Structure 1
Amino acid sequence: MDEPARIGSRVQRMRTELGLTQRQLAEPNYTPAYISTLESGRVRPSETALRFLAGRLGTSYEELATGRPAHLATELRLALAEAQQTLATGEAGDAAARYRRLLDEARRLALAPEQAEAFIGLGECALESGELPDAIGHFEAAERLLADEPLTRRARPIRGRAVAHLLAGELRYACYLLESAIDELGASGLADPEALVLLYAAVIGPYIDMGAHARAAHAAELALALAPQVSDPALVAGMHRQVARTFLAEGRVADADASLAKAQAIYGQLRLRTDLAHCHWMRGYVQAQNGELEAAERELRTAREMLAARHAALYTAQVEVELADVLRRLGRSGEAAELLSALLDLGDSHGAVHAAGAHRLLGLMAEERGEPESAEEHYVQALALLERSGASGDLADLCRMLGDLLRRTGRTEAALDVYRTGLGHRAAPGTTTLGPAPAAPLYGSVRISGSRWAGGRAE
């Protein structure tokens, strides 16, 4: 809202243009003396008073309070929606350029909500292109702009920042951000189903990567219970995609594939290409787990092509690790090694987990060729990369593989040390290093049950 003097001058100008007296403008809710005081800039009008006067003057509250025509904010919001569609169906670089222009316009008009929306869009673009520090900075800027808004308005940038930290290998911090937001929502009584589903779906991945499968399953159950109250189809699809991971962890391959099919159908209708690529990727993983290797290769190659076309470097690297494992199992180790060799340079903080996955597979293939020294070297490099990420499940599995290799080569004491290290990384079922799991939220007057809901299926 502008200063009182500017608002008063604006009211006086509009009143004069319409040929109204102060009494005609004031009645029946206010007095001519109040209008006189307001027009002289000696009083700051309330929102209620400005809305009344805007109606009498034939203008909008926003224009009267700020001097900006209401259509400017509306046009900016429409342009932001178009930029979001560009990100969904086109190039992240093109979408980022549009978001930057719209951010400048929102700043010029001093529209904080629209600035926050532009920053969220820039964060999503940076996530897709693998520019994780930039993504974190954009999401943090959006949170600052929305600091005085309810947590339900801040859920999207919090989730975006958590995903960026997850992709950077900072699993525990990603969990901390999401769990803190879920707990704050519950404590505040703002049990908004869309915000909760967004946060619960986002926390499933880091839980599983940390070995906290029971906690991931609980988050999936709560998300499924809330899903019928969510109107955003893309959000529901994303929830189904993440819930599929819990089904896989429980060995429920058919349920996982059914969840992915639901997500894939929605993404296809909405033309959300990156999300559709993720579905192909996960379906390929499901098929690989089920021994359907040729079908898995087709799905993973489709995902890889779609992500590479969008220059989604980190996501492409993740798919290539999965594809290499399928090629190895198909007896095409040469192709697999060629694919993996390009990933070994991702050893910085942004690609450490993917580089570790490449080293793990190269070690496994070296073992299969009867080259234990080469295998040990790859396993040790993978361990060094994973230790900074907190990926407890991967660390424990890798320690088991290295321990088995050392035991077979006669180094029993060294093997025992590695096994102990793996046990130390293995999280107890349903726990992380973060303390108690978030409480199930109160929705209305009923607490959502943590028990198995409809057999874990969305009805």
Structure 2
Amino acid sequence: MTDEGVGRRIRELRQEQGLLQAALVKPGLLSAGYLSLIESGRRRPSPEVLRYLAEQLGTTPDHLATGRQPDLWQETERRLAFAELALQHATAEDALREFEAVTRSGPPPFHARAELGRARALELLGRTEQAITAYEALWKAAEPGTALWAERATDVLRCSRDLGDYGYAADLGERAMATFEDLGVEWSDSAVRLGVTLAGVYIHRSDLVRAAHLLRRLIEISDGTGSPLARGSAYWNAAVTAHYQGRGADAKAFADRALALFGETDHQRNLAVLRTFYGELLLDGEPADPGQAREFLLDAHDRLTQLGSPAEISECETYLARAAVQLGDLDEALRWAQAARSRLTADAAPVAEAEALIALGMVHLAANDPAQAFAALDEGERALAHAAPGRSVVNLWNRMGSLHEERGDTTAALRSYRQGLTAAGYRQPSRPLTRSDVTASAG
């Protein structure tokens, strides 16, 4: 055996389980300094130390010494590989069962990998609150400032954002970024993606100035790292910011850059969601291009049905419904809108539910069916009333107001626009000002 190989296996197993070196220290047997020398290959562990480390890491001394895996490990590896493959082929329920089985009875070195798979399966199944709990446990177990720690923090931020808990997501993201600054850790892909996700939270809660400032910094940093994934993520969120700021040309230029960069990676799910956003840009453009938007969205939909969450697929289907309405194909529009509505689970985020219902109301209105349109919009209004304030909520209230105007219900339209103002942070006075109020103020 080589000292370097033994040390590498000990270090990898420790990090996979989210353990700090201090957690393995045993007075009179193993100090932190001794462990550091072992992991770096500069000291050979004694048989007693090797047995102790194997016990703590859930493996055998022979595996640490030679790299040979016990038979049980090979079976567990096979089960995890099957579950991870199932996640990529839209069978998250099967994957979840395998991950949970390994967590319950598999060897300890595989538990962290199984827990991560379980969290991802829960997220894909739309069980976002449970996914957050699982991701948080993995994040807290990781060593602060490491790439693994940043990746799990990003997972927590993403799920919190999707649930509309922007306050918690922003606080966590800012604390995580401050940890990097305090530790003096060099920027990595994982750290850049964490920052980009935090910028996305700012965008959703309508803090576009802060988002733009952070993204400018991240683009500068990521352009220096040469990583297509980190750079693509930064340009993508810059495109979203520009879109919400009404800078359509800049949004499309940033999105074109992001698409090119993501095309160099194997992150197919992210690429599919980005293509969905690009379809939205084409639908909202001046002039709109529903034909090209439909092509992008159909491609995104094919990918997402294999890799995406119910909310991501539903969002793509709402845009396909919008494209079909603009193209005059109301039968196709109705199919997409109904698919978007039926796809969401009972615990779907209110924004996702409202978006699908508004799309359904839009299609019914285009088909000259005001009664069905009102029923869908009324249900959408109830869902949206439970959503946390943010940019997407403001946009949905405004879209709902426009549809109410189309159907001639000015009272409902005014109510929706007022709700949009509230979601944007505007607080209406408790009663209208009167002439006497103005006179008293002037006096």
User: What is the TM-score when the length of structure 2 is the normalising length?
Assistant: 0.70
- Report the alpha carbon displacement of residue 316 of structure 1 after superposing the two structures with TM: 1.1
- Find the partner of 2:50 among 63, 80, 94: 63
Structure 2: distance between partners of 1:178 and 1:42: 37
C-alpha distance after superposition, 1:173-216 (max 9, x if no partner): 43343233234444555464434312221133333333332232
Q: Which amino acid aligns with 1:379?
A: L
Structure-1 separation of matches of 2:45 and 2:115 = 34
Distance 1:244 1:87 in 2: 32
> Which of 213, 227, 236 is equivalent to 1:241?
236
Secondary structure at 2:124's aligned position in 1?
helix
Instruction: State the partner residue of 1:219.
Output: 214
Residue 354 of structure 2 is matched in structure 1 by 356
SS at match of 1:342: helix
| Structure 1 contact 169–349 (Cα < 8 Å) conserved | no
Q: CA separation in 2, counterparts of 1:98 and 1:232?
A: 33
After superposition, the Cα gap between the structure-2 partners of 1:412 and 1:191, relative to the gap in structure 1 and judged at 3 Å, is: same
Q: Distance in 1 between matches of 2:48 and 2:365?
A: 72
Deviation of the 1:139 alpha carbon: 0.7
Give yes or no for the alignment of 1:202 onto 2:197: yes
Give the stretch that moved more between structures: 317-326 or 259-268: 259-268
For residues 161 and 319 of structure 2, the distance between their equivalents in structure 1, rounded to whole angstroms, comes to 18
Aligned to 2:128: 132
Map 1:280-291 to 2 at 5 A. Answer: 280-290=275-285, 291=288
What SS is found at the alignment partner of 2:340?
A: coil
Deviations 1:419-439 (A, max 9, x none): 4332221148xxxxxxxxxxx
Q: Is the 8 A contact 1:123 1:160 kept in 2?
A: no
Task: Kindly indicate whether the alpha-carbon contact (under 8 Å) linking 1:116 and 1:141 is maintained by their aligned counterparts in 2.
Answer: no
Question: Which residue matches 1:436?
Answer: none
Task: Please identify the structure whose Cα radius of gyration is greater.
Answer: 1
In the comparison of the two structures, how many residue pairs are matched? 383
Aligned-pair distance for 1:399?
4.0
- How far, CA to CA, are the matches of 2:402 and 2:294 in structure 1? 29
**Residue 133 of structure 2 aligns to which amino acid in structure 1?**
G
Task: Quote the Cα distance in structure 2 between the aligned partners of 1:81 and 1:60.
Answer: 31
**Which 10-residue stretch deviates more, 194-203 or 184-193?**
184-193
| Distance (Å, rounded) in 2 between the aligned partners of 1:52 and 1:370 | 76
Match of 1:48 in 2: 33
* Offset at residue 246 of structure 1 (A): 1.9
1:306 matched to 2:303? The reply is yes
In the alignment, structure 1 residue 396 sits paired with structure 2 residue 394: yes
Q: Which of 415, 419, 430 is 1:421 aligned to?
A: 419
Change (3 A) 1:343 1:391: farther
1:347 to 1:211, Cα distance in 2 relative to 1, 3 A: farther
1:403 deviates by 5.0
State whether residues 88 and 306 of structure 2, in contact with CA within 8 Å, keep that contact through their aligned partners in structure 1.
no
C-alpha contact 2:275 2:296 (8 A) present in aligned 1: yes
The alignment status of 1:317 with 2:314, answered yes or no, reads yes
Percent identity (aligned) = 20
- Go from structure 1 to structure 2 and tell me whether the alpha carbon gap of 1:221 and 1:188 turns closer, same or farther (over 3 Å shift): same
Cα deviation digits, residues 215-253 of structure 1 (max 9, x gap): 322232122122135465434333333332123224444
Distance in 1, matches of 2:403 and 2:43, equals 83
How far did 1:416 drift?
A: 4.9
Contact 1:304 1:320 in 2 (8 A): yes
1:268 and 1:276 in contact (8 A); partners too = yes
| CA-to-aligned-CA distance 1:129-153 (integer Å, 9 cap, x gap) | 433244223212312422x644764
Query: Post-superposition shift, 1:317?
Result: 0.9
Query: Of 141, 149, 172, which residue of structure 2 is paired with 1:145?
Result: 141
Alpha-carbon distance, 1:297 to partner: 0.5
**Partner Cα distance (1:52, 1:402) in 2:** 64
2:111 and 2:161 map into 1 onto residues whose CA distance is 25
Does 1:123 find its partner at 2:122? Answer: no
Contact 1:88 1:272 in 2 (8 A): no
Corresponding residue SS for 2:29: coil
Q: Say whether the 8 Å CA contact 1:124–1:160 is kept in structure 2.
A: no
Question: 1:286/1:304 Cα in 2 relative to 1: closer, same or farther (>3 Å)?
Answer: same
The one-letter amino acid of 1:123's match is: A
| Amino acid aligned to 2:237 | Q
Cα deviations by residue, 1:311-362 (Å, 9 ceiling, x for unpaired)? 6422211100111111111112232122212333437332432221122223
Structure 2 CA distance for aligned equivalents of residues 275 and 116 of structure 1: 24
Change in Cα spacing, 1:376 to 1:52, as seen in structure 2 (3 Å) is closer
Tell me whether 340-349 or 134-143 shows the greater mean CA deviation: 340-349
CA distance in 1, matches of 2:79, 2:250: 37
- 2:174 aligns with 179
DSSP-derived class of the 1:295 partner: helix
- Structure 1's unaligned 5+ residue stretches are 1-40, 429-459
CA distance in 1, matches of 2:354, 2:348: 12
Question: What is the CA distance between 1:72 and its match in structure 2?
Answer: 6.5
Aligned to 2:324: 327
Q: How does 1:11-90 map to 2 (within 5 A)?
A: 43-49=28-34, 63=50, 66-67=53-54, 68=61, 69-70=63-64, 71=67, 86=85
**Is 1:338 paired with 2:335?**
yes
Q: Is the CA contact 1:240–1:263 (under 8 Å) kept in the aligned structure 2?
A: yes
1 CA distance for matches of 2:122 and 2:200? 20
Distance, in Å, in 2 between the alignment partners of 1:271 and 1:42 is 46
Structure 2: unaligned runs, 5 residues or longer: 1-25, 55-60, 427-443
| C-alpha distance in 1 between matches for 2:266 and 2:87 | 7
Looking at both structures, which has the greater relative contact order when contacts are Cα pairs under 8 Å and sequence separation is at least 6?
1
Deviations 1:390-449 (A, max 9, x none): 253344344445556767888767765554332221148xxxxxxxxxxxxxxxxxxxxx
Asked if the contact 1:88–1:274 (Cα under 8 Å) also holds between the matched residues in 2, the reply is: no
Q: Please, what TM-score do these two structures have when normalized by structure 1?
A: 0.68
Equivalents in 2 of 1:414, 1:51: separation in Å? 67
Match of 1:249, as an amino acid? Y
Deviates further, 203-212 or 47-56: 47-56
Q: SS state of the match for residue 348, structure 1?
A: coil
Q: Partner amino acid for 1:207?
A: Y
